[in-house]
Structure 1
Amino acid sequence: MEKKPIGNTVKWFGELKSTNDYATSIAHFDGSHGIVIASEFQSQGRGQRGNQWESEKGENLLFSIVLHPRFLEVRNQFLLSKAIALSLCDVLSVFTNGVSIKWPNDIYIGNKKVAGILIEHSFSSIYLDTTIIGVGLNVNQSVFLSSAPNPTSLYLEFGQNFDIAVLLNSVCNAFNKRYAEVEANQYRISENYLQNLFRYEVFHKYRALDQMFTAKIIGVRNSGELMLQTIEGERLEFAFKEIEYVL
């Protein structure tokens, strides 16, 4: 079966518990590759580390993409994270030069978080079978009440409201191009990811195993590990949840 462009079918909802959960429930159907599930509100929306995603109803872009990337080996799964993160950068960079990707998959404007990504995989043998990519982009929300340290929105950054449906269409168009790069040119997408990486090759403080140290990011593996070099020249690698930025 020929695959349709990602975002060719978009299902909009007023409210869901979680767009990722709904996307997972339909992922086994034939022709589900590329379907986008979007909702004005998520009652149980979640981010990384099990955190709940704060979002006022109708103010932000909340969606999930169903993929069947059966060409991609499990060991290279982080390429999909790179692809969606770069797609968001591609769209937001139209408005500002200050967009970057904070490893593993937050989108920043300056030093503030404007979007988060949650990716869930299932696999068969050494290849991925199904991937659900969830995105929360803060668009028109003006007040954040959670304990998140540094949220922002497009409204707070630029002082104007944005059309959420138009933004979704732009992200889907950008992701179609980036997904094609995952299929055809993995080196290029990894290079672009590093070029857009928050604090790449600049010494900053990090915390791991209850110890703080200073290091610079020197790379990110296609399996997702963050590669650092300390001031003393020691090279270290960390998986997600093993290290945190000191902001």
Structure 2
Amino acid sequence: MPISTSGKFLVALFATAALSIGLGSIASQAAEDAVVIPAPAVDEAGRSGTETAVFAGGCFWGVQGVFQHVKGVKSAVSGYAGGEAATAQYETVSIGTTGHAESVKVTFDPREVSYGKLLQVFFSVAHNPTQLNFQGPDQGTQYRSALFISDPQQRKVAEAYIAQLEKAHVFKQPIVTKVTDYTGFYPAEQYHQDFLTLNPTYPYIVYNDLPKIENLKQIFPADYRKDPVLVLKAKG
């Protein structure tokens, strides 16, 4: 399986070594600490049907895995956003010069979970919004924090929420998340879909992403779903 040279391979080696000598607890210490943050003061209201939103926050394996466990989410697809269709392949995006970010397109029912709640989960447990052009061990603009917006209401909620969190000094460092115009989303290769669920013992997942699922369960118990909504199952 292709693995980016951004840091996944080195993290996998380190985690494998730690687990092999009985230091499995080190995995829970490796993930970025979740931050308990207030709910957005401004949120969408009165919407029906389904809605979509695109989030970028580091490696899409963990971001997808988190949103797949959120009630009201109907699908969460790993992919690429910010660049052109011709360069939307993993090995090309991993070079870091395509303009793409590893992203997750979330389809959700706003009557069950609001866009504001998804933002709260995103900023709290899915990634660290203060890391500029990297996330944990992964380096490069393809791992930047961004929200790709195609909806005026979503832009209003996102910009207001970032301003709210900054004013409250919730994070020790400034939020670097960019609210960016949506220019297209391109699903990632099949082997990237549902990666966290299908590979729970893969060292990178153990070390970086499973703690995010546990944080979601602990911080947002009312929004946590035990069984994730899977891409491959939906296709089948």
In the superposition, the TM-score normalised over structure 2's length comes to 0.26
More strand by share: 1
Of structures 1 and 2, the larger Rg is shown by 1
Q: Which has the higher contact order (CA 8 A, sep 6+)?
A: 2
In the superposition, the TM-score normalised over structure 1's length comes to 0.25
